[in-house]
Structure 1
Amino acid sequence: MNVHFIAIGGAAMHNLAIALHNKGYKVTGSDDTIFEPSKSRLEEKGLLPEAFGWYPEKITSDLDAIVLGMHAKVDNPELLKAQELGVKIYSYPEFLYEQAKNKTRVVIGGSHGKTTITSMILHVMHYHDRDVDFMVGAQLEGFDVMVKLTDDNDFMVLEGDEYLSSPIDRRPKFHLYKPNIALLSGIAWDHINVFPTYENYVDQFKIFVDSIVTGGSINYNEEDAEVCRVVEASENQIRKIGYATPEYHVEDGETFIETSEGPMPIEIFGAHNLNNLAGAKWICQHMGIDEDDFYEAIATFKGASKRLEKIAESGSSVAYKDFAHSPSKVEATTKALKEQYSDRTLVACLELHTYSSLNTEFLKEYKGALDAADIAVVFYSPNAVEIKKLEAISEAQIAEAFQRDDLKIFTDPTEFKTFLFQQDFNQKSLLLMSSGNYGGLDFEALKAQFEK
């Protein structure tokens, strides 16, 4: 099969391109710019475009399919040529569904936790030598790819993102997978540039639940009131199975989960992660892994890349970074680190970086999100607000949103860096939460602070 990728350099797109190449397809692609690590990974497979830019002459009737990435615009020259020639155009999720339509599709959805839960499932399968197809949004330890496609495997595990499918297909990705087995971890308003009201956002999850094939099943977080409402109101003829956070305790900075065999130490921590674990256990049981085998495997799970990832540690201090940016995830992550190291001062730093977090109306959703921190810090770049063409926000609006009189607010990367590097981290925990990089923070230099 001959497949061309328009906007091949994206995190998801380049992984699908590599997966198809590994499967024996002829793969080509274009993009106007490609960053690391996508660039090196494509180059290693011989898939890196010879030159950046859009070349309509690459689009011919010999192509079996086009995969169109979100980075492309509706007037992209290659897209217009494909439409003119009548070449079949797929969005990323549409093409994944085509690859998985004869398999048992396991789809993990939710505003938060889906990458971690998907990673847990794949870790357990890998531990027990159960080969499955998959698509996950993070690089996993023990896996050299984020997308795997075969003709032989019975299951495909898909991380179900609610963001849009392509510039010409405005449906959320997870509406297109038609799961046999599904999970819904939580609903907390996000992506407000696409879903302008909370009700509109929740509607996407109702459609997801109704897209589960008749006779299928959904496991859902029964501790999330909105999830319960959405799942229980669905008239889809499916099995509905709730799950909840298991009993656990923290002892000397180590978390123990209660099992039928007694307390078991695990690498991950935080109530939200243990809730994720409960959901992953159910899905693995649907896939033929019994409870004892699940616990044996999950004991060695260290977490998904960029999700509550330990970046430095000394005898009396520790530093973590996390991809958290939504209010619910920020609150859960901050509580988790304070609980794990309750005898240390927690310095929690949040960068407001996404469209949602920099929106003046959405800011109020952050009320209480940093309350578990002893020292709470917010960084944002007024330049990022301008680039995103959003209404300017003031430090006073930030302070009002978080409802903390002692909140430290930085808008200058140099001043934020100075604050961090002047900290004495003895008997402290540092938490850096962002989907950005705090205006160019040198994480390697910061790690060195913990080695002094």
Structure 2
Amino acid sequence: MRIHFISIGGSAMHNLALSLLDNGHHITGSDDEIFEPSKSRLKANGLLPEKMGWFEENITPDIEAIVLGMHAKGDNPELLKAEKLGLKIYSYPEFLYEQSKNKTRVVIGGSHGKTTITSMILHVMKYHNIDIDYMVGAQLEGFDRMVYLTDHNDFILLEGDEYLSSALDRRPKFHLYKANIALLSGIAWDHINVFKTYENYVDQFKEFIETMVPGGLLVYNEEDPEVKRIVEETSHSIKKYPYTTPVYTQDEEGVYLETDEGDIRLEIFGKHNLQNLAGAKLICQSMGVSEDEFYEAISSFKGASKRLELLAENDSTIVFKDFAHSPSKVKATTDAVKEKFPQKKNLACLELHTYSSLNAEFLHLYKGALDSADEAVVFYSPHAVEIKKLKEVTREQIAEAFERDDLIIYTDPAEFKSFLFEKDLTDTALLFMSSGNYGGLDLEEVKALVK
């Protein structure tokens, strides 16, 4: 097929483009700005646009499919030209469904944990040389692509994002996959720029259950009260399998999972990760992997990229970076580090970077999120608030929201860096949580602090 990507530079979009190129399709694409690593990967495969921007002449009648990314707006000139020509236009998830409608679709959903659970399942499948199609939201060790499509595999594993599909399609992405097998890890209000109320956000997960193929199988986290409620309330004709956090012990040397065959040492840590593991096990079993095979493989899983990623360590200090930004993720990540390293000083640095986290009406949900840290720092950029056209957020509002009298707040990147680099990090577990970069902080310089 001849396929054109409008907004080819996105993390998921460029991976899909590369996968389709590998399968022999003719791929073109455009974008107004492309960052690394997308830029280098597209260039290496001959897919980097010659010039940045949107150009009507890119859209010709011989194009068989347009894949429209979320970054592209409704008035995009290439989109308007495609509509005028009557070309077939797909959102990203719509196109993935079209490519997998004859496969068994396994969809991992939830406000938190879905990337880790998807990564765990892929790790197990790769360990046992089981070939499946997939789409995951993070670059994984041992995998060249975040998207892999074939004509022959029976299963496709999809990370099910609840965010909107495209400028034309305002449905949450995971509604479009029509799952045969699904997992729900937890529900905690997010994307408040789209889902204005908590109730509206929860409704998206209710509807996700209803989009499942009748007779399908739903694995769900019984310890999440909202997930438990909506799963038990549904009258949809599906099989339901709950999971809970398995029994485990841990110390600074490692985490040990209790099984019928004895304790298994893991590379990951924290209650939330162990909970994710329990869900991943049930999904793998539904895909034909035995419990023993799962345990054998999962013992070597080191985690998804940007999820409690170990940046540096020495005999005294250890540094982690995590993508956590929503209140529930921040709490789970901070708690995990403190539980793993109770004898170390836990210094947690959170950047408020997303639309939701910088919204004054949302801030109160962070109450208690950093309580397990011995010292807590919040960084945010007033400029980012301005760019997102939000109401001004003050230091006082942040301090009040977290309800922590000793909370340290920075708005200037240079001041935050000075604080960090002048800090005695002896016997410290340092945790960075952000989907941004703290106003330009070079993490390589941070690594150098603990060499």
- Is the TM-score greater than 0.5? yes
Q: CA deviation at 1:115?
A: 0.3
Q: Which residue identity lines up with residue 215 of structure 1 in the other structure?
A: G
* 2:192 match: secondary structure: coil
Shift, 1:251, TM fit: 2.5
For the Cα contact (< 8 Å) 1:110–1:185, is it kept in 2? Answer: yes
Work out the CA distance in 1 between the residues paired with 2:306 and 2:367: 24
> What is the TM-score of this pair, normalised by structure 2?
0.99
Query: Which amino acid in the other structure matches residue 347 of structure 1?
Result: L
Q: Equivalents in 2 of 1:247, 1:16: separation in Å?
A: 38
Q: Deviations over 1:317-376 (max 9, x none)?
A: 100010000000100000000010110010001000000000001000000000000001
- For residue 44 of structure 1, report the CA deviation from its aligned partner: 1.1
Distance of 1:361 and 1:41 partners within structure 2: 39
Q: Who is 1:440 aligned against? A: 440
The sequence identity of aligned pairs, in percent, is 69
Query: Aligned equivalents of 1:34 and 1:275: distance in 2?
Result: 36
1:354 corresponds in structure 2 to: 354
Q: Deviations over 1:100-152 (max 9, x none)?
A: 00000000000000000000000000000000000000000110000000000
Q: State how 1:73-222 maps to structure 2 within 5 Å.
A: 73-222=73-222
* Secondary structure at the counterpart of residue 165 of structure 2: strand
Segments of structure 2 that go 5 or more residues without pairing to the other structure are none
Q: CA deviation at 1:59?
A: 1.1
Q: Is the 8 A contact 1:358 1:393 kept in 2?
A: yes
Distance of 1:376 and 1:53 partners within structure 2:
42
Aligned to 2:290: 290
Q: Quote the Cα distance in structure 1 between the aligned partners of 2:40 and 2:382.
A: 32
**Residue 315 of structure 2 aligns to which amino acid in structure 1?**
G
Tell whether the 8 Å contact from 1:253 to 1:341 is kept in structure 2 after alignment. no
CA distance in 1, matches of 2:356, 2:30: 30
Question: Where do 5+ consecutive residues of structure 1 fail to align?
Answer: none
Q: Secondary structure at the match of 1:213?
A: coil
Conserved? CA contact 1:218–1:239, under 8 Å: yes
In structure 2, how many angstroms separate the alpha carbons of the residues matched to 1:380 and 1:301? 33
Q: What residue is the counterpart of 2:411 in the other structure?
A: 411
Q: Does 1:424 align with 2:424?
A: yes
Question: SS where residue 171 of structure 1 aligns?
Answer: coil
* Structure 1 position 178, deviation (Å): 0.2
CA distance in 1, matches of 2:94, 2:210: 18
Separation in 2, partners of 1:155, 1:384: 41
Structure 2 residue matching 1:195: 3-state secondary structure: coil
AA matched with 1:332: A
Which amino acid in structure 2 is aligned with residue 440 of structure 1?
G
Q: Supply the distance in 1 between the matched residues of 2:340 and 2:333 (Cα, whole angstroms).
A: 11
CA–CA separation in structure 2 for the residues paired with 1:110 and 1:217: 16
Structure 2: how far apart are the matches of 1:317 and 1:4?
Answer: 48
Partner deviation per Cα, 1:64-90 (whole Å, 9 max, x = no partner): 110001111101111001000100000
**Within 1, Cα distance between the matches of 2:245 and 2:176?**
29
The residue number in structure 2 matching 1:399 is: 399
3-state secondary structure, aligned to 2:66:
strand
Instruction: Give the corresponding residue for 1:29.
Output: 29
Match of 2:13 in 1: 13
Conserved 8 A contact 2:346-2:431:
yes
RMSD: 0.6
Match of 1:332 in 2: 332
What is the deviation of 1:52? 1.1
CA contact 2:251–2:341 (8 Å) conserved in 1: no
CA distance in 1, matches of 2:23, 2:107: 22
- Deviation readout 1:196-215 (Å, 9 max, x if unpaired): 10000000000101111001
Which letter does structure 2 place at the counterpart of 1:22? D
CA contact (8 A) 1:245 1:275 kept: yes
Asked whether the 8 Å contact 1:364–1:401 carries over to 2, the reply is yes
CA–CA separation in structure 1 for the residues paired with 2:104 and 2:331: 35
Secondary structure at the aligned position of 1:432 is classed as strand
1:21 is displaced (CA, Å) by 0.5
Matched with 2:66 is 66
| Counterpart secondary structure, 1:164 | coil
Tell me, in whole angstroms, the C-alpha distance in 2 between the residues paired with 1:313 and 1:33. Answer: 35
Task: State the one-letter code of the partner of 2:440.
Answer: G
Paired position in structure 1 for 2:48: 48
Cα pair 2:4 2:67 within 8 Å, conserved: yes
Q: CA separation in 1, counterparts of 2:229 and 2:25?
A: 43
The code of the aligned residue for 1:363 comes to L
